[in-house]
Structure 1
């Protein structure tokens, strides 16, 4: 065999190969998701998507899609390689969303024939540009020329997109010469495509959206879509709030959360391996369950309930890569009521092969070991969730647990401890008439106003206490609300808040039965959850401070008093419950 280089042919005809690779298995939402992945990896906090449409062949079509982020940007060397198939600064990494170096490139070419990218790094005043045009590449290849990406140039950002580009570092990616935009069913009408894209992206990136990352499509921020109903500020919270306002005939405050019920949330070992995954199985809240037979009406469809029937969400580094049915997983087969059950599987990139993850992050199917593990969990948990659905549907008059008086021991102890504590200096206090009205409202909130006699006895009981604590139902995200009277503070603890539901209430139950009952909380599990919750409170507070430019000046006194009073109360009050 000759070793003469002139006899060697290229292993790849670039233009023809790229035409073939356009059939990468992407639909439009999954292609868009690949670019969002890159923005997240570039530490972007705001990702904007701008779609443009025009008449093509006598029908309206999406002709251009632009992505703008406020991430770290790319220097000239990285920018030139950005469009190179196989290039990745995170190639085969097991710590990042992307690792193959082909996702965003294949995504763009699966939609259109040209990709442009503009980027600026922090500290630079120049926005640099590169592009790849597949049509031009094919023609160049026919002429025997080398197909590739030229060095960055200074071509300006299109004028109509300049207003969206961040003042500091950031990147703009634009897809044009678009000829393949459709949803998973092949429908390409622009309005329909955008609706389906928004729905998919809000579910795929729900964890990032819930944590504060903004994804904006045509100037509208996406709300996270959470099939488990555990996250706050979701599409479901908005829809349920609007429905309750419509059916009750009165407006309701925004920011309400309607949490799902958790049946399983554990890290488990995959059968016959040393690998671990986390599995979460939940049930939709009563406001969504409503009554038997309602799971396909307009309200349920708006909540996207029917498409959840039997679906399992596979989450890789908190990014959903597949939302699908897994055959023979649900015990007895998938039932209609299963559309109310949320099922998430979290795994890390080290399990990519077991999960069937490809360079296109969609369509992953678990291997046999993982499937067997999930089936075992489903067989033990799903029947309990189904029973709870039947119980809620069959229950006519629900008698809510009475929480009034659960804080009485500690409020009495506080009265003794407060005698030696610094006194409040609140000057804006209600008038005596307003104070009486406040007591009446509190009696109502606490469920202590069934009769005038009961209400009067309750008011007499609390009037001389320095602190009054009641667990009440508060719409919104507040853990507690404070009302300062002349020499008294009323604390309303929010029973809707996750801290109350996952920490405070279980600890209350544990304090009463010691975990000795077979049906009561497990003491060790609850104790571990308590440590987690307290630690997370501190972490969340530290995170919140970090969002301010001068946190020390802003919060120094607050931290001092909060820490001081916590220490003093814990020292003065012990074993009163």
Structure 2
């Protein structure tokens, strides 16, 4: 086809394309750095070092960011292609982390005005280098990737027998200009994205500091923080890659975890933020062992609440399902297709709602326990002034304690158990219509309040939920009144006396319920 004189009708207006591509959608510096780490892992690197330093050049953008790996390195042709947009030799290859050959140039120029690559394939072999520069491309001075040239062996390659070093200079779009702040944010972000590789032995460092694996589910003991428990069994759902062609399919695996409300809810706000508990609710989407997105996915109509901070979900899939998940070339977000949402969202939403309810109930139990503590402490303190409880426990006590299960902490042991009785108040549904029950054990006295009794709903719970000092004092007095009644009954030893006391307590509870019910 004949070219029009004086006009440029090339498919890509290079000067404008190179500036526009800088805004191609990387969410953060971490997302862009992750692309370079993907390339290193694709080259079978086992050691990757990220460094952020101040370069020798002065100006508004003096920071340098480099990623050095001990991978297989590249020859001249591969290096030149790697710096081309879409120039990968592995285009559309789903066996690794990349597919499109856009990662190196696209991520680099989204953060810096110049990217320089050094690569070598043996200890004594040549070091090849080439580059891309925004200003040179925009001015028309650079219209193709420069042919690689031999360079002196840089000191930053750390003696690796083979590898690649990517350096960003004139970094004008990094998330932060302070090296310490940028490093602090990169550490947990990369630790979460590449957690599976770190668990499998990858050495990843940022300015010499090891990146610790971050498990958003808090399940893996080899993570920065752990302590959650898996909720239910892992789900495995087969999904077609394309709804119009059901022959190609893959398996989506879904796991849920439940965070320990009882112990972690007592952490301070700063510690909760550090661990990623506060405002950390969401679903981690993992492609081929690498996290590609994190957010509020596949939950349909369920709105996000504070209680959702106390559970997590992980969805993992193989690259064969890239189209179903809507994976883009930046590998940092998903746009799931309707048939995928239809296949997996109902199960995810159902589990999310169940976990939300469990978290709500667990927080209520913690709140209740905290508000019982003052009454428990006062009764424990005053116990030495009261007639001693008989040693041991009776069959009726065993029945009550057995029904409580893990709700109740173990009895005190050692010297403390010999000196005084420890009092506990527990809100637990009773099979009987009683308002309260009790059990005595060696070193422990337990009062069980029935939340299904009208007295609890009408009078006690409003006092329990209230925050004013007067209402807290009144509820504490009710606690002590019930403890006194239960402890007095616990002093009885004769079977006939016990039966009479239990009959009176039952009759009192039933009469009270009748009077309080509408």
Considering the TM-score relative to the shorter chain, is it more than 0.5? Answer: yes
Matched, 1:212 2:201: yes
Relative distance call for 1:305 and 1:62 in structure 2 (3 A) is farther
List structure 1 segments (4+ residues) > 3 angstroms apart after TM superposition.
1-9, 53-59, 187-190, 270-275, 285-291, 386-393
Matched, 1:373 2:354: no
Specify the structure having the higher radius of gyration (Cα): 2
In the other structure, the counterpart of 1:313 is: 284
Once residues 363 and 205 of structure 1 are traced to their aligned partners in structure 2, the CA distance between those partners, rounded to angstroms, is: 15
State the shift of 1:54 in Å: 6.9
Relative distance call for 1:278 and 1:5 in structure 2 (3 A) is farther
Matched, 1:333 2:329: no
Contact in 1 for aligned 2:254/2:313 (Cα 8 Å) = yes
Contact in 2 for aligned 1:210/1:231 (Cα 8 Å) = no
Relative distance call for 1:327 and 1:192 in structure 2 (3 A) is farther
Contact in 2 for aligned 1:70/1:166 (Cα 8 Å) = no
In the other structure, the counterpart of 1:169 is: 162
Question: How many correspondences in the alignment?
Answer: 365
Contact in 2 for aligned 1:264/1:381 (Cα 8 Å) = no
Once residues 7 and 305 of structure 2 are traced to their aligned partners in structure 1, the CA distance between those partners, rounded to angstroms, is: 63
In the other structure, the counterpart of 1:279 is: 254
Cα-to-partner distance string for 1:24-72 (whole Å, 9 max, x where unaligned): 111211110000000000000111001013799998x661101110111
Question: 2:213 aligns to what SS in structure 1?
Answer: coil
Once residues 143 and 59 of structure 2 are traced to their aligned partners in structure 1, the CA distance between those partners, rounded to angstroms, is: 34
In the other structure, the counterpart of 1:359 is: 329
Contact in 2 for aligned 1:289/1:389 (Cα 8 Å) = no
Alignment of 1:23-422 (within 5 A): 23-26=23-26, 27-53=28-54, 63-122=63-122, 124-141=124-141, 147-158=143-154, 162-182=155-175, 188-237=177-226, 258-270=227-239, 274-285=249-260, 289-290=264-265, 297-309=269-281, 311-326=282-297, 328-329=299-300, 332-390=302-360, 392-393=362-363, 394=365
Cα-to-partner distance string for 1:55-113 (whole Å, 9 max, x where unaligned): 99998x66110111011111122112221111112110121110100012100001111
Once residues 45 and 56 of structure 1 are traced to their aligned partners in structure 2, the CA distance between those partners, rounded to angstroms, is: 32
State the shift of 1:206 in Å: 1.1
Cα-to-partner distance string for 1:373-402 (whole Å, 9 max, x where unaligned): 3321123322443354356542769xxxxx
Contact in 1 for aligned 2:325/2:335 (Cα 8 Å) = yes
Contact in 1 for aligned 2:128/2:151 (Cα 8 Å) = yes
Question: 2:100 aligns to what SS in structure 1?
Answer: coil
TM-score, normalising length: structure 2: 0.64
Relative distance call for 1:55 and 1:380 in structure 2 (3 A) is same
Question: 1:270 aligns to what SS in structure 2?
Answer: strand
Question: 1:116 aligns to what SS in structure 2?
Answer: strand
Once residues 149 and 57 of structure 1 are traced to their aligned partners in structure 2, the CA distance between those partners, rounded to angstroms, is: 26
Structure 2 stretches lacking a partner, 5+ long: 371-409, 415-518
Once residues 85 and 225 of structure 1 are traced to their aligned partners in structure 2, the CA distance between those partners, rounded to angstroms, is: 32
Relative distance call for 1:108 and 1:178 in structure 2 (3 A) is same
Once residues 343 and 115 of structure 2 are traced to their aligned partners in structure 1, the CA distance between those partners, rounded to angstroms, is: 42
Relative distance call for 1:313 and 1:5 in structure 2 (3 A) is farther
Alignment of 1:405-444 (within 5 A): none
Contact in 1 for aligned 2:230/2:257 (Cα 8 Å) = yes
In the other structure, the counterpart of 2:11 is: 11
Relative distance call for 1:166 and 1:54 in structure 2 (3 A) is closer
Cα-to-partner distance string for 1:197-225 (whole Å, 9 max, x where unaligned): 22211111111112111110000001011
Relative distance call for 1:298 and 1:101 in structure 2 (3 A) is same
State the shift of 1:363 in Å: 2.5
Cα-to-partner distance string for 1:207-247 (whole Å, 9 max, x where unaligned): 1112111110000001011111122321214xxxxxxxxxx
In the other structure, the counterpart of 1:431 is: none
Contact in 1 for aligned 2:236/2:252 (Cα 8 Å) = yes
State the shift of 1:192 in Å: 2.5
Contact in 1 for aligned 2:298/2:349 (Cα 8 Å) = no
TM-align CA RMSD: 3.1
State the shift of 1:147 in Å: 0.9
Contact in 2 for aligned 1:289/1:340 (Cα 8 Å) = no
TM-score, normalising length: structure 1: 0.58
